[in-house]
Amino acid sequence: MPQLNPNPWFSIMLLSWLTFSLMIQPKLLSFTHTNSPTNKTPTTTETSPWPWPWT
């Protein structure tokens, strides 16, 4: 069964991971995001008790 022979498939996998790690990944990481996250101060809202009719 040729699919159990790791010799050609290991080299293909290794070559594809090296291509991704050395060429594609730095190009993808160099993009800047359009909506960068910012620190926002939390807003507090004033709550009032619920007017229950039976109390």
Confidence of residue 24 (pLDDT cuts 50, 70, 90): confident
Higher local confidence (pLDDT), 27 or 3: 27
- Amino acid in the structure at residue 1: M
For 28-46, give one letter per residue: b (16+ CB within 10 A) or e: eeeeeeeeeeeeeeeeeee
Find where tokens 């995001």 sit: 33
Find where tokens 């069964």 sit: 1
Higher local confidence (pLDDT), 40 or 18: 18
pLDDT score of 55: 59
**How far is Cα of residue 18 from the mean position of the Cα atoms in its chain?**
21
For residues 48 and 55, give the distance between their C-alpha atoms in angstroms, rounded to a whole number.
Answer: 15
Average pLDDT, the chain: 80
